[in-house]
A and B are shown apart, each in its own frame.
Chain A
């Protein structure tokens, strides 16, 4: 019999880190218990996993680590529901369940030889981090052209991965632009909403892909900017969220038209989304 896709593997929570100043988002670092589990969990940037907090339930979260970071998986999770609340309160060393990897990934093969513009807002930066780290890895960096990251949050305290961002500031492999919604003391980067900043930065659409993740309103106003910059819909990529249960394209709740976000997504091009009902 094939492997039972409902049975999670066990992983150890080795770090439960408060990620944002509002203490609403924590980053969980999970450690594989053995080589075999890690071997079986071959993933790419953009995929997600179902995490079990035993006693509370299971929920899907995007994988924030890159496959180039061995031995662990990281997830940055906002405290909104039953499972995420349980995870936030979880002691380090506790065993959690993990099913995955699930869903498709960002089209990293198509990105080869192209410039990639990553645009993220708020806590939707997790799988974008995975993508950036993957492309910046020394084994992969030569495969891609310019990597531009435009990342914004309401205030500096809400930016994820602050230490890493600081490192990216000076890293010649990546062009990082960070922004916050409103001016505040001590902030010396840009100020303004993502769509405005994207317009200012005006990344070239020539030989480029754009990957956009964030709150619906951010996506709504960023798309016209990208269109103006001549990014065709086939080269604008986004990742969708849906209420999911099985993660296997069976339980029936995460479909948009004929597509199951859990199995056929979560990554779609704008060209694909235009063909689907606007029900997400």
Chain B
């Protein structure tokens, strides 16, 4: 079933009056990112993917957890969790899949992170299949494809002047109530849908055995040289839709302060530095190993899936071209020395 973009746009505009609405927008230089919009006319069409991942709408780079006022020896603490009903439009399959992975991080066997989940629960994710596939995309290797709907509440396929619509969840159903009646796909539409659905990324990696290989890989000499050119910045982790590590710090002025959390990353030496000066991951080698082990082994143990969705952002943003596809290949090819 489909809806014309014109009619969809009218529904979108009506919803945007009621919900905080986030969608891909292009800046003057042509860089696409997710931003608040008021009308469908602002939404970038035919974009590849956003430069930065949409995880920031559930897990902002900088957010106040609580604030406080100190008076004498006393203190008054206030919860700063604020949530708006939100629509996140135009999420690509890799990023929608990443939300499912992040869900397993922000809720574990003991705790639920209310800041993440209050936003997540109050947001409807409208996914859109990829019509174009970048040379750095490799989602097809990660168990899904450029037209996978997992993680979306409503999933669209762009057919030019209309969208094919799939309503996937109760949240999606509630939102779709404002759509006018959907119409049947034409034969041409169906052909286009089939083409988009069968598309695969041209870039592929083999992750079929990486998790088990990494089991016995911690002390492998591969880590010694792999990371030599890494400069230890966080452009890979900040551009990654599944990276979720954060710092908590204090922002204070006079007697007022707040506790904030900010994105952090395993590439920074300070990430694990104890107050005593001891640092369990004091070398680039141990930090790169952590990045790979976490994504391709530890995460699988703890959450049942690899924590990489093949979006390719880290490949594009790395200042020294340390390409995660090559790192995966390197692990695959490295010989296991059994001690």
**Taking beta carbons and an 8 Å cutoff, which residues of A are in contact with B?**
1-2, 4-8, 10, 52, 54-59, 80-82, 84, 91, 93-95, 97, 216, 241-243, 245-246, 248-258, 263, 277, 279-280
Contacts and interface: CB of A to CB of B under 8 A. Distances in A.
Contact of B77 (A8, A80, A241): A8
B105 A97 contact: no
Interface string B90-133: 00000000000000011010111111001000000000000000
Given A93-B73, A280-B280, A55 B111 contact: no
A250 B113 contact: yes
Chain A at the B interface: SS class: loop
Contacts of A243: 271-275
A2 B275 contact: no
A274 B252 CA distance: 43
Contacts of A277: 218, 293
Contacts of B111: 5, 248-250, 263
Nearest to B66: A7
B47 interface: no
Nearest to A280: B280
A95 B66 CA distance: 16
Nearest to A81: B275
B113 A58 contact: no
Contacts of B246: 245-246, 250-252
Contacts of B245: 251-253
A246 B244 CA distance: 12
10 shortest interchain CB distances as A-B pairs? A81-B275, A252-B245, A248-B111, A80-B275, A94-B73, A258-B301, A57-B250, A245-B248, A258-B298, A95-B75
Contacts of A1: 114, 118
B108 A249 contact: yes
A257 B281 CA distance: 12
Contacts of B264: 251-253
Given A95-B74, A251-B246, A59 B275 contact: yes
A94 B276 CA distance: 26
B19 interface: no
B18 interface: no
B228 interface: no
Contacts of A93: 73
B108 A245 contact: no
Contacts of A57: 248-250, 259
Given A91-B73, A95-B73, A248-B110, A253 B248 contact: no
B74 A2 contact: no
B233 interface: no
A55 B81 CA distance: 20
B248 A279 contact: no
A258 B244 CA distance: 16
Interface of B: 65-66, 68, 70, 73-75, 77, 79, 81, 105-106, 108, 110-115, 118, 218, 244-250, 252, 255, 257, 259, 261, 264, 266, 271-276, 278, 280-281, 286, 290, 293-294, 297-298, 301-302
Contacts of A2: 112, 114
A263 B114 CA distance: 17
A216 B290 CA distance: 22
A279 B278 CA distance: 11
Contacts of B250: 55-58
The interface centre, meaning the residue of A7, A242, A263 with most chain B CB atoms within 10 A of its CB, is A7
Contact of B298 (A54, A250, A251, A257): A257
A91 B74 CA distance: 11
A95 B118 CA distance: 29
Nearest to B275: A81
B234 to A, nearest CB: 13
B117 to A, nearest CB: 9
A7 B79 contact: yes
A10 B118 CA distance: 24
B75 A4 contact: no
A249 B110 contact: yes
B276 A4 contact: no
A253 B79 contact: no
A242 B250 CA distance: 20
Given A2-B114, A57-B250, A250 B79 contact: no
A54 B247 contact: no
Nearest to B259: A58
A25 to B, nearest CB: 13
26 contacts: A2-B114, A4-B79, A5-B114, A6-B259, A7-B66, A52-B259, A54-B77, A55-B252, A57-B249, A80-B275, A81-B275, A243-B272, A243-B273, A248-B110, A249-B110, A250-B111, A250-B113, A250-B244, A250-B246, A251-B245, A251-B248, A252-B245, A254-B272, A257-B298, A263-B108, A280-B280
Contact of A54 (B70, B218, B266): B70
Contacts of A97: 75, 77
A52 B250 CA distance: 10
Given A58-B259, A242-B274, A245-B247, 13 more contacts: A5-B111, A5-B112, A5-B113, A55-B255, A94-B73, A95-B73, A242-B280, A246-B246, A249-B111, A250-B244, A258-B297, A277-B293, A279-B290
